[in-house]
A and B are shown apart, each in its own frame.
Chain A
């Protein structure tokens, strides 16, 4: 099953099972904005449960929080992460406080999409996972495989607590499955940690190399165990992230150094986007996203 179909199936199942679950956000009834992931939802569940809102990201986020405090389970969608900045007050000052300060359960799933490339430029491309691993109170999921795209969305909704689920449009037409790492202990190699689409990049970058590839899909709360176990074997860590520096990957590197410094034979290396905004022209865009050339 394709990644995008997995998301779509999860949404159909979740909304069918529980009539408290509903989808809300700007563009949720339009495949132009939300792609094939929302296919058939409007026809099946009606506009009462597929609420296509005015472009008022901040208020709409507050509205979703309010419904979650009053017995509903909203899935709040941002077809592009770039527009989440408008909603940052509600996402940070309200949503993330509910559990920790007010002791409220907040059954809110925030579904955000990284939608970049194709000359979409600096404000239609951002990957902001690092902002939300930074803010207390969020669980952050970034599925890579089709099966996880479905399972993690279901998990996010059924957990009944604040979760950010981030998908990547570059994965929509893929059908990736989990495979155990083929690392060979007899030779030297490296631990490579990837998230989201970078799993695909890593396959290209390290083709025929002896790497222990660990793809992280739950960025927060992070399970460091498998990464540490791997570093005990390899002594080297490379982190690949499709975002700016100073975010999740930097924090991961620090945590690794905290936990198993004495097993590292070299300082951790982070390969991520350059410290600049995404350019628009295809020529520049290709340079901006071509990780393999940057290594």
Chain B
């Protein structure tokens, strides 16, 4: 967690200095989710991440130098400088990819879970998403699809209370747990505590791998910075 915080702080400062141009969505405050979830996974389990993906990349075991180089637009970066902060990958440790289209990676995780089922592999797929993404149609479609086929997928909702600048009460009616309950998906919720998140993810991995179908973990987390970079648009 400290590594992630230090990395994000350095990146945030480099953005302010003007050394980095690519939009960097920092995850300071949300490190417990990345670490707690990824510690409960094996290398063969895959994760799909979002625009706020540096923490997931590091927690899953991705090479930090290659992440750093990618953000600086270098050829030695994890996507050879073509991706930047928002398009990362480290398939060697199961970090499939991150992408900034809100909700866009959710069905990809469902697809990996379907492939695991078809190939009879003992793995799970994890989709990280924010509270804002739960309003995308593709989130609902993915919950329904994965529930029908009882796929080994875990949806991790990092509820930081904001969809970019918009607070939860202005972007959603009903809780995220209610949304998932409708699909008979097993739901857990957690505070922003790494041990609790780890323990709950461990249980969910067990259930997902043993035929209980998709799982959803909602974490009430905190975004300490603004939507993008260090400057907090909520305080301007």
Chain A positions near chain B (C-beta within 8 angstroms): 22, 48-49, 53-54, 56, 58-72, 89-90, 93-94, 97, 100-104
Contact = CB atoms under 8 A, between A and B. Distances in A.
B104 A63 contact: no
B108 A66 contact: yes
B99 interface: yes
A67 B99 contact: no
B115 A56 contact: no
A64 B141 CA distance: 14
Nearest to A92: B101
- What does DSSP make chain A's interface, helix, strand, loop or mixed? helix
A66 B112 contact: yes
B112 A69 contact: yes
Contacts of B89: 102-104
Contacts of A104: 89, 91, 97
A63 B119 contact: no
B138 A66 contact: no
A70 B101 CA distance: 21
Listed from nearest, the 10 A-B pairs whose CB atoms lie closest are: A66-B111, A62-B107, A59-B141, A56-B141, A70-B115, A66-B108, A63-B111, A67-B115, A59-B107, A70-B112
Contact of B118 (A53, A64, A67, A103): A67
Most B CB within 10 A of own CB, among A53, A66, A100: A66
B88 to A, nearest CB: 9
B80 A66 contact: no
Contacts of A67: 111-112, 114-115, 118
Contacts of B148: 54
Contact of B80 (A22, A64, A94, A103): A103
18 contacts: A54-B141, A56-B141, A56-B142, A59-B138, A59-B142, A62-B106, A62-B108, A62-B110, A62-B138, A63-B108, A66-B110, A67-B111, A69-B115, A70-B111, A90-B107, A94-B108, A101-B79, A101-B82
A101 B83 contact: yes
Given A89-B101, A93-B101, A101-B82, A68 B118 contact: no
Given A69-B96, A71-B115, A90-B107, A63 B80 contact: no
- What does DSSP make chain B's interface, helix, strand, loop or mixed? helix
Given A62-B142, A89-B138, A103-B89, 18 more contacts: A53-B145, A54-B144, A58-B107, A58-B137, A62-B138, A64-B111, A66-B48, A66-B113, A66-B114, A66-B125, A69-B96, A69-B112, A69-B115, A70-B46, A72-B114, A94-B104, A101-B79, A104-B97
Interface of B: 46, 48, 79-80, 82-83, 87, 89, 91, 96-97, 99, 101, 104-116, 118-119, 125, 137-138, 141-142, 144-145, 148
Contact of A65 (B82, B108, B137): B108
A261 to B, nearest CB: 35
A22 B118 CA distance: 10
B125 A93 contact: no
Nearest to B48: A66
B111 A62 contact: yes
B111 A65 contact: yes
Contacts of B48: 66
B178 to A, nearest CB: 20
Contact of A48 (B83, B87, B101, B118): B118
Given A54-B148, A58-B137, A66-B112, A103 B79 contact: yes
Contact of A94 (B79, B83, B99): B99
A56 B104 contact: no
A23 B44 CA distance: 25
Contacts of B144: 54, 56, 59
Contacts of A72: 114-115, 118-119
Nearest to B127: A66
Contacts of A100: 82
Contacts of B109: 66
Contact of A69 (B101, B111, B137): B111
Nearest to B114: A67
A60 B142 CA distance: 8
Given A71-B119, A101-B87, A60 B112 contact: no
A48 B148 CA distance: 13
Contacts of B97: 102, 104
B78 to A, nearest CB: 9
Contacts of B79: 101-103
